[in-house]
Each structure stands twice: as structure tokens, then as C-alpha cells.
Amino acid sequence: MHLEIPLLRDIVLLLLTSLPIVFVCGRLRLPTIIGYMLTGVVIGPSGLGVIGDVEAVETLAEIGVVLLLFTIGLEFSLEKLLAMQRVVFLGGGIQVGLTIVAAMLLAHWGAEVAWPSAIFIGFLVALSSTAIVLRTYVDRAEVDTPHGRVATGILLFQDLCVVPMMLFLPLLSGWQATNFWYVLKTLGLAAGSVLLILLLARRVFPWLLHWLVTLRSREVFVSFAVLACLGTAWLTSQTGLSLALGAFIAGVVLSESEYSHQIVADILPFRDIFNGIFFVSIGMLLSLQVLAMTWPVVLGLVAFIVVGKTVLAFVSIKVLGHTPRVALMAALGIAQIGEFSFVLLKVGAEAGLLEGAAYQTFLAASILTMLATPFLIALAPALGYQAGRWTGIADTPDTGAAELPPVSGHVIIAGYGLNGRNLARVLRAAGIPYRIIELNIESIRAGKKQGEPIIYGDGTRREVLHAVRIEAARVLVVAISDATATRRIAALAREMNPHLHIIVRTRFVSEMDGLYALGVQQVIPEEFETSLEIFARVLREYGLSRQYIQQQVETIRREGYRLLDTACPEQNTLMTDLATVIENATTLALRLPPEGLAIGQSLRKLALRPTFGVTVVAVRRGSETTVNPDADFVLEAGDVLVLLGRPEKLENATAYLTGQASQVEGEQVH
């Protein structure tokens, strides 16, 4: 029996088409968002028309927006948002208000649109694309920049405005004109849902997270993360708020958890695939036929929207006291039409507020503004530096802007086991800054009690490494036992910081070449370090000097451990040399009697090496041991001499030194 699943077929076609397009965009150094949108244009109804179930794809796209906003919320904190309340409510309020009024007046007086439809157009133009802007900022690592924070704050206010705008549409179209209780009830439910999410995320989620982490099951942890994201989004949607806004609120509250970085890392694969589908769905809305017939009007409308929104947003941000550079960069970031405008557009079209050619023209222009967004954000820095000259206002730094965490040139320790703890202890004593990444919750709690700068997270995830400022670090020490994870951490760290000095502990020498190929500077294999210690102790047992043993050990390390590899040609030379030394030389411990000839004599005067071919490698006197004594060392009665030489040479030297003195059998100096 053949079972046909249309959605599965559509997803396969979507991915199959998007991969080469996104690849080409990557080679051209274009944002991946552009590639996904172009994919939507190609496979959409006005293109090849290969997607059968468009509504199902749009549903997956909504999940992508939810996951995006949830992970972005995790990267914020309540303190940060409270600090941004002036930007959110004052800056966002001015921007939305100015844009609605300007678009409404221009639509009514310029295009002779009726007042209800003009107000509706104002709603559509006032909103910007949270998903596209924040995704672009994340890709460019600009979320925490001054302009990134300002743009994010305004976008949050716009998302909050979606609910009252949706409630106002029936009033514009003449529905429920006097039912204000309906409006109040919906707003009350929305506010109640936000409070419930805050309560759950602050009181219940931390307890659940701690309990789940103690299970040490990644599957359970990932399942809870997805549940927290989708569950809160669904809860808010039931009370009138947008799915994405609910997910963002949950993410912000969970950002206070010590597990937030790992939640981001686990959600990331789901977010990326669904988010790609969202951008594809946006491209599918573009009608190539409408664009071909009305392209002058569409392009003019695009320019009007982008320039108008940039100017109004610039004014709004300047009111907050930001510099022209920051104001222009943030304004360019939010100069497009938003994805929630499409939701309003669909409802408004059904209500008769915008229909026919005007609907299709506005839709095409909106999508083109979205396509232009990554390019506008890329141009923003260059244009921002010219803003002061254009406006005549000096562009001075933001004195109140929050700085990045004050740590640089630090050491990152991946793994808080025995090696990690010892290294952290030494670094703290030396005053060297460091950060620790660890997955074991008990180790984390123990470290936090000792005041260690430790986070819960998987070092194989980009977000976790970014959280410990890998870009500004000087040294990374990977001290974990998972070989696969070690390689992934090393490769990702080298990608994120080309100048980073990476030191890796590994178990086997067979893993060394692969790690060096990834850009690791130093690899310390446990297997050979253990063998070197055994090797050194065996040689000491045979009486070889510590200096000689250390020389051989350092030779092996300099050669990158090749000399202990059976496939290494130099190995035979080293081992033959050691065998010759061991075979031809031995040690003897000799106690000098009071009547011995050596009493009161210096080693120089005795001349044991030129006369007998014997070397004094150590002298023990009472509880003290002198290793490799110098030529002026004077011997006393009761001294124990450690002699090195061939057996027959040792016998002659013993007879000379002691006369009738006997060998101290089995006595060794350590």
C-alpha cells in the first residue's frame, strides 16, 4: 500500500530547491534569508507552483517564528528589558504613532482612500519584521550593540500593538461597533496570560529544570525546552496575543536560569529549519505577475515605505537621546513591513478594508522591503557614520550604553573535572581571568559555591561559546573525555576566533593528527603522558640520572610523541640507545666508613671519573640528598654515595674508597 503524504513531499521539494539557492547566496556573500525568500518565489504559486499544501507550509513557518523569538528572548534578561523600558514604550510608542498618522494622512489625502482604510494602511506600515531584523542582527552579532538594542525595543512594542490593532479592525469595518466589553475582555485575558507566563517561568520552570537536569537525559531536557517554547506560545494565542510574543516573553524569563545557554543550544536545530521555512513562505506570497504589470508603482511604493519609515524611526530614536549614527542604523533596520502586517492584511482584506489591485500591490511592495532588509542593515554602519555630517549633529558615543561583559584575553575551560578544577585554581591564584563551561549540574553547583565563573552548557554549540566570549579569549583548554565533542569544540572555537590558542586533552595518540588539522596548537594525550611517566620511573629504578631521563622525555615531547610510535624510524635509535645505557651501566649505593680513604676528600681530588670511569650521581647525608654534587663537595663518614658505572668499574672504585667497606645492598637514594 502506497501512502502519499503531501506535506512531506512539499518539505522535500522546499529543501531540495533551497539548498542550491542558499549555497549560491553564500558564495556571493549574501544573507541566507535572501536565499530562502528567493526559494519561495521560485517554488511559489507565481513561480513553478510545485508546492501543493501552502497552508501547511505557512503553519510550519509560524513555528519557525515562535522558535526564533523564544531563543532571542533567552539571550535577553529581565534586567536588560527593564533597562530598555524607555526605548520600548517611549521610542516604540513615538515610532508607531508617527508612522500610523503619516501613512493614514498620505493615504487619505494623497490617494483619496476612505478614513477606515487609511487607518488600516497606517497599521500595516507601522509594523516591522521582528523575525527578519533579529535574525539578521544575530547573524551579524549586532543584537547587543546600541542600535541593535534600540531596534529590538521598538520591535517589541510593535508586537505588543498587534493585539489592539486586531481588536480595532472590526470597529473599522463596522462590526461590533458598540461591543467595547469584547475589547476590554480580550485585553484583560491577554494581560492575564502574560502574568501567568511570568509566574510559571519564574517559579515553576526553574524547579522543573533543576529536576530534569539531575536525570542527565538530553532527550528529556530538549523535550522540556520545546514544550516551554510552544506551550507558552499556544497559551498566549488563546487569549489574543501573538504566538511569537508569548514565546519571547517565556524566553526572556527563562534567560535568568543557569541553563539558558544549553536551552538555546538544544532549540537551535529546530529553530533554524523552521525559520528557513518561514522565510520561504514569505517569498511564496510574492506574485510575479502583479510585479511585472505594476513594477513602477511597486518600486515607488517600496522606496516611499523605506525612506518614510527610516525618517520617522530616526526622529523617534533621536527623541530618546541617541546619536545620529545609532539612530540611523536602528532606523534602517526597521524600515520594512512586518510579518504581522500580513496577518492584519488577511483579516482586513476579508473585512473589505483593502482589496483588489491595491491588496496585491501592497503585498508585493511589502515583500520587496523584506528582501531589502539585509542589504539595508549591511549598509547601515557606513551610512550611520555619515549621519552626523548630514544632520549637523555631532556623533558622540552613547555614554549610557551597556558594554559587553568586561572580560578579554581570558582562558576558557571546557570541562570542570579534575583537570579543569586544578587549572581554575592555578589561574585564580595567578590573577588570570577565565570562564568555565560544564554539563554536570553537581559540578556546576560546587563551582558556583566556590565563586567560579561557570555556566551550564555544551561547548559544541556556538551560542554557548559565544556566551563565554570566545571571540575575545586568549586560550581555550578542552579538558573533557568525549573525543567527538572535543573535535567539535576545537573546530568551532577556531572558526569563531582564528587567533585563539587551543590546548586539548585527549585520550589516545591516534586522535592527535586530526586535532592538529583542526587548528589546535597543543594536544596532550593521556595515553602517552601515562606511558612517559611509567617509562621515566622504570629508568629511575635502573639508576639512570634524572637529567638523562628528563632529556629523553623532552625529546619525545618535542617530536610530538612520534618517538614512542612503533611506526617512527627514530624510535629504534632512541630505544637502542636506552638499551645500551641500561645494559652497560648500573648504580651502586655505598656508605663510607669512618676509616675510609675518601673521608675529608673532595670529589675533585678523588677524580673517580677519570681514574675509574665512575660517576657520583648523588650523596645522601642524614636526611638530605644532594643530587649531582659539584667537584668541590667534601665527603664525610656515613655519607651514602650513589655511583653510576659499569659493574667492573664500580667494583674497583669501591675497593679504593672503602678498603674493606661493604656495599649497602638495596639502598637507594630518592
Q: Are residues 576 and 590 in the same domain?
A: no
Q: Which of 328, 334, 340 is nearest to 124 (CA)?
A: 340
Q: Are residues 591 and 579 in the same domain?
A: no
Backbone φ and ψ for 561, nearest 5 degrees, come out as 70, 10
Counting residues of the chain whose pLDDT is more than 70, the rounded percentage is 76
Q: Are residues 448 and 494 in the same domain?
A: yes
Angle, in degrees to the nearest 10, between helices 356-391 and 32-43: 160
Q: How confident is the model at residue 77 (pLDDT cuts 50, 70, 90)?
A: low
- Tell me the CA distances in angstroms from 310 to 135, 160, 314, 392, 663, one per residue in order: 19, 21, 6, 18, 96
Q: Are residues 332 and 474 in the same domain?
A: no
Instruction: Decide which of 494, 520, 546 is a domain's last residue.
Output: 520
What is the pLDDT, as a whole number, of residue 299? 92
Least trusted range by pLDDT, from 37-51, 260-274, 302-316, 475-489: 260-274
DSSP 204: I
Count CB neighbours of 216 within 10 A: 12
- CA-angle at 366, arms to 363 and 368, nearest 5°: 110
Q: For residues 418 and 421, which has the higher predicted lDDT (pLDDT)?
A: 421
Q: How confident is the model at residue 226 (pLDDT cuts 50, 70, 90)?
A: confident
Q: For residues 190 and 502, which has the higher predicted lDDT (pLDDT)?
A: 502
What cell numbers appear for 568 in the block? 617512527
Q: Are residues 537 and 484 in the same domain?
A: no
Q: Are residues 368 and 436 in the same domain?
A: no
Instruction: Decide which of 538, 567, 583 is a domain's last residue.
Output: 583
Least trusted range by pLDDT, from 63-77, 282-296, 538-552, 558-572: 558-572
Burial degree of 531 (CB within 10 A; 0-12, 13-18, 19+):
middle
Backbone φ and ψ for 624, nearest 5 degrees, come out as -105, 145
What is the pLDDT, as a whole number, of residue 669? 38
Residue 304 belongs to what domain range?
11-388
Least trusted range by pLDDT, from 185-194, 327-336, 374-383: 185-194
CA 203/CA 196 separation, integer angstroms = 10
Counting residues of the chain whose pLDDT is more than 90, the rounded percentage is 12
pLDDT at position 594 over 60: yes
Which SS3 state, helix, strand or coil, does residue 435 take?
Answer: strand
Mean pLDDT (whole number) for 403-431: 82
Q: Are residues 28 and 70 in the same domain?
A: yes
Q: Are residues 479 and 541 in the same domain?
A: no
Check if the beta carbon of residue 347 is closer than 8 Å to that of residue 175: no
| Average pLDDT along the chain | 77
Q: For residues 666 and 166, which has the higher predicted lDDT (pLDDT)?
A: 166
Q: Are residues 340 and 234 in the same domain?
A: yes
DSSP-derived pairing of the beta strands 522-525 and 501-506:
parallel
Which residues, listed in sequence order, are joined to residue 602 by a DSSP beta bridge? 634
Residue range 131-167, pLDDT digits in tens: 789 888 877 767 766 788 889 889 988 877 876 787 7
Instruction: Decide which of 500, 520, 540 is a domain's last residue.
Output: 520
pLDDT at position 397 over 70: no
Q: Which of 442, 530, 446, 42 is nearest to 215 (CA)?
A: 442
What is the pLDDT, as a whole number, of residue 576? 46
CA 38/CA 51 separation, integer angstroms = 14
Residue range 289-308, pLDDT digits in tens: 888 888 899 999 999 999 99
Q: How far apart are the first and last CA of the chain?
A: 80
Q: For residues 517 and 537, which has the higher predicted lDDT (pLDDT)?
A: 517
Residue range 453-507, pLDDT digits in tens: 888 777 877 878 888 889 889 999 998 776 667 888 899 999 999 999 999 988 7
Which SS3 state, helix, strand or coil, does residue 235 take?
Answer: helix
Q: List the CATH number of the domain containing 281.
A: 1.20.1530.20
What cell numbers appear for 428 in the block? 585564580
In a domain, 328, yes or no: yes
Burial degree of 384 (CB within 10 A; 0-12, 13-18, 19+):
buried
In a domain, 148, yes or no: yes
Q: How confident is the model at residue 582 (pLDDT cuts 50, 70, 90)?
A: very low
Tell me how many domains the chain contains. 4
Mean pLDDT (whole number) for 561-582: 46
Least trusted range by pLDDT, from 67-71, 397-401, 646-650: 397-401
Q: List the CATH number of the domain containing 419.
A: 3.40.50.720
In a domain, 220, yes or no: yes
What is the pLDDT, as a whole number, of residue 402? 33
In a domain, 397, yes or no: no
In a domain, 516, yes or no: yes
> Best-predicted range by mean pLDDT among 171-180, 523-532, 660-669?
523-532
Q: Which of 640, 628, 543, 626 is nearest to 587 (CA)?
A: 543
In a domain, 376, yes or no: yes
